[in-house]
Structure 1
Amino acid sequence: QQELERLCDRLRLQSPAHRQSMEQQALEHLYRRLVRGGAAVLERYENQLRQQAEKLEMLSPLKILGRGYALVYQGEELVRRAEQVQPGDILRVQLAEGEITAEVKA
């Protein structure tokens, strides 16, 4: 009787329905792993993108102007050194909000 039950159990384990059920469970497990892995990769790339965007924003000319800096132009040329201008020159000063015109005095 025990031998017959053992053989029946083995036969049941070898049945196509049982094998299909086992393969379906394995497939579902792999699918869950894929979804979790994909979400982790997506989150990592989102964090990297956010960090890069923050760095880029820190270097934005408008952000720099917002911190109190200004861009000074003589005509269309950006003034980088005091030696570029002479007394009497008219300069255009770009601020974070608007621009002004200034005359060099000394």
Structure 2
Amino acid sequence: FIVGKIIEECAAATGDAVITEELISFVEDRKGHDRRYGIAPDKIREEIGWEPETAFEDGIVRTIRWYLDNQEWMDHVLSGEYRAYEPVSLRCSSKGLVG
């Protein structure tokens, strides 16, 4: 379900054709891979009263839209260029963060 929803949303947002089952290659799961991920917030709701602000489907749509709207950020991350940055040590002072 969720993979299909993501594909549909990407196709709708970009104007591309929806990917059909014939174009999908299924691969074997890696060892130790969880079979499913639960998204029910029941436990945290019961324990601390937390409620999600966004419905899951709306959140997926917003997430896809963000990635599509921020292609420059995606290109930067995918290039690995950020790995070459020198680490910066910061410390807190009365004037804020100091490098």
What TM-score do the two structures reach when normalised by structure 1? 0.20
Flag the structure with more relative contact order, 1 or 2, with Cα contacts below 8 A and sequence separation at least 6: 2
What TM-score do the two structures reach when normalised by structure 2? 0.22
Give the structure with higher Rg (CA).
1
More strand by share: 1
More helix by share: 1
